[in-house]
């Protein structure tokens, strides 16, 4: 199945080209746009973007694999990203992570069968003063505890 870059994203890419003197510079912003639409960056999407920008496939793939925010497999509706770094760690992130694994019955990097949740650990989110932090998609949930995590899961529609 080949991937077609949407009209909207193509228009965005054309807009972006005006901001930079070199076409390669739109690569990362364009990948963000594509992921926003599809939820992840597939091999076909890489193919399509390399054709669109006139760049070698390997050049685009090299960038996709370097940056952790580009999902290389589909993720659930809610991507739970638990910060595992020093301040979150010392303020209780490991407990929250194991609680999430237990509740969702998945391991790190996995998605629940209903496609609702993907669980990941991430490095420092730059919000250490409100540790522990969980990012759900692009939104930060700060000062988390096991209880607040349960509330969050309920709000997001976890069936008990």
Partner 1 sequence: MMEKILLKTEAADIEAYIKAGGYQALRKALAMKSEDVTAEVKKSNLRGRGGAGFPTGLKWSFIPKANTKPRYLVCNADESEPGTFKDRELILKNPHLLIEGLAIASYAIGAKQCYIYIRGEFAKETGLLSDCVNEASKRGYLGNNILSSGFDLNIAVHRGAGAYICGEETALLESIEGKRGLPRLKPPFPAVVGLFGCPTVINNVETLASVPAIIEKGGDWYSKLGAGKSAGTKLFSVSGPVKKPGVYEIELGMPFKKFLEDYAGGMLEGSKLKAVIPGGSSVPVLTAAEALKMNLDYESVQQAGSMLGSGGIIILDDKACMVETLLVLAKFYHHESCGQCTPCREGGGWIEKLLRKLEAGKGKEGDIALIYSIAENMLARTLCPLGDALAMPVMSFITKFRPEFEAHAAGNGCGKREAGSGKSTQ
Provide, rounded to whole angstroms, the least separation between the CB of residue 81 and partner 1. 8
> Is the CA virtual torsion 36, 160, 98, 131 positive or negative?
positive
The rounded distance, in Å, linking the Cα atoms of 79 and 120 is 7
**Distance from CA of residue 121 to its chain's centroid?**
11
User: Does residue 103 touch partner 1 according to CB under 8 A?
Assistant: no
Query: Quick check: bond before 122 cis, omega within 30?
Result: no
* Segment interacting with partner 1, rule: CB under 8 A, options 4-12, 109-117, 119-127, 147-155: 119-127
User: Does residue 12 touch partner 1 according to CB under 8 A?
Assistant: no
User: Does residue 6 touch partner 1 according to CB under 8 A?
Assistant: no
User: Does residue 79 touch partner 1 according to CB under 8 A?
Assistant: no
User: Does residue 120 touch partner 1 according to CB under 8 A?
Assistant: no
Q: CB count, 10 Å around CB of 149? A: 21
* Segment interacting with partner 1, rule: CB under 8 A, options 2-10, 83-91, 110-118, 151-159: 83-91
User: Does residue 131 touch partner 1 according to CB under 8 A?
Assistant: yes
Assess contact for 125 and 83: CB atoms under 8 A.
yes
């Amino acid at each position: 199945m080949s991937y077609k870059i949407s009209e909207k994203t193509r228009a965005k890419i054309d807009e972006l080209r005006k901001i930079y003197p070199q076409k390669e510079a739109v690569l990362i912003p364009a990948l963000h746009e594509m992921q926003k639409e599809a939820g992840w960056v597939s091999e076909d999407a890489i193919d399509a973007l390399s054709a669109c920008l006139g760049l070698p496939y390997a050049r685009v793939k090299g960038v996709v694999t370097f940056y952790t925010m580009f999902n290389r497999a589909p993720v659930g509706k809610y991507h739970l990203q638990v910060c595992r770094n020093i301040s979150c760690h010392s303020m209780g992130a490991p407990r929250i992570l194991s609680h999430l694994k237990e509740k969702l019955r998945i391991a790190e990097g996995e998605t629940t069968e209903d496609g609702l949740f993907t669980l990941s650990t991430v490095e420092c989110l730059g919000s250490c003063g409100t540790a522990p932090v969980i990012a759900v998609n692009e939104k930060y949930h700060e000062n988390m505890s096991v209880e607040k995590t349960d509330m969050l899961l309920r709000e997001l529609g976890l069936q008990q």
